[in-house]
Amino acid sequence: MAIYLDPPLWPAHDTHFSHLVSDTSLAELHAFAAAAGIPDRAFDGDHYDVPERRFDDLVAAGAIPVEARVLVRKLIASGLRIPARQRSKSLKLPLLNRWESIMPGHDALFLDLLDRWGEEHRKYHGRTHLLAVLEALDLLTEPADPPRTVLLAAWFHDAVYRGVAGQDEEESARLAEDRLADAGLPPADIEEVARLVRLTSDHRPDPGDDDGALLCDADLSVLGGEPEPYARYVAAVREDYAHIGDADFAAGRAAVVRQLLELDPLFHSERARELWLDAARRNLQGELA
């Protein structure tokens, strides 16, 4: 059992805040917080928000300081992580922190992508999905960081979303080519990001395409969720296609589910198969039935 604390990176109320989490139980977390004099109102579902001035004394009290990404991984592994869809707070700050780690100084591009991912018509294919893919990439590559081109492809892979399979991915890839060229990325990197974005149209990377497999596995990680999160995912997809009648949606969705079940492999890396394959097959077969 351990308590973890990330750096005070999150700006609010004229200071910066850290997150305090347990890798085992909320009871342990609440006991530590109470002993440290952290008020109940600082608790946010799976962590406490603590101001920068408390950082040193919390470490002295036994909290283990770790990088923000390490803290998220610990929280996910503990099973205590609350899915982003269930949170009332904006995802702007956690997404900004991740963006700054790969594209510092490109605030305008970040805000453009954030707006795109936050469009009103998106229910599943929104900021929650983006964050989930980025977190899945963390899990698949730990303790290393995911390649920068893969991370950028995750940011762009549904940047254009109108619910038109194939066309959305192509337009997203073209958007990546334009915007990343404006940002001054090397042409080879831009070409690779666009290639990876296009792969998410069918999730069929070639053998040996490790980066393509990594992105495709992360994009499909939602399939391997527990029954309740999977049911929320299916409901959100239905909302994305609210303009389509029930019969047509059912037929189209059944075709998509069959295509996913026919993917061999469904997940490409050993780590992804360990994390999600069995549950994904159960979820897909149950939905089709």
Q: Which CATH superfamily is domain 92-288 in?
A: 3'5'-cyclic nucleotide phosphodiesterase, catalytic domain (1.10.1300.10)
User: CA triplet 139, 106, 130: central angle to 5 degrees?
Assistant: 35
**Least confident range of 50-54, 72-76, 253-257:** 72-76
- For residue 55, is pLDDT > 90? yes
Whether 34 contacts 24, CB under 8 Å = no
**What is the reported pLDDT for 84?**
56
Mean predicted confidence (pLDDT) in 93-111: 90
- For residue 96, is pLDDT > 60? yes
Mean predicted confidence (pLDDT) in 187-216: 97
Average pLDDT in the chain: 90
**What is the reported pLDDT for 88?**
39
- For residue 199, is pLDDT > 90? yes
**What is the reported pLDDT for 224?**
95
- For residue 120, is pLDDT > 90? no
Any residues with CB less than 8 A from the CB of 39 and at least 6 apart, and which?
Answer: none
Rounded-to-integer distance, Cα 124 and Cα 204, Å: 22
pLDDT tens digits for range 138-153: 999 988 999 999 999 9
* All structural domains of the chain with their residue ranges: 3-82, 92-288
Q: How far is CA 255 from CA 75, 198, 218, 229, in A?
A: 35, 20, 21, 21
Which of 83, 228, 237 is CA-nearest to residue 158?
237
Q: Would you place residue 87 in the very low, low, confident or very high pLDDT band (cuts 50, 70, 90)?
A: low
* Highest mean pLDDT (candidates 1-15, 80-94, 111-125, 214-228): 214-228
Mean predicted confidence (pLDDT) in 213-227: 95
Give me the residues paired with residue 15 across strands: 12
**What is the reported pLDDT for 90?**
60
Rounded-to-integer distance, Cα 224 and Cα 141, Å: 17
Rounded-to-integer distance, Cα 69 and Cα 143, Å: 10
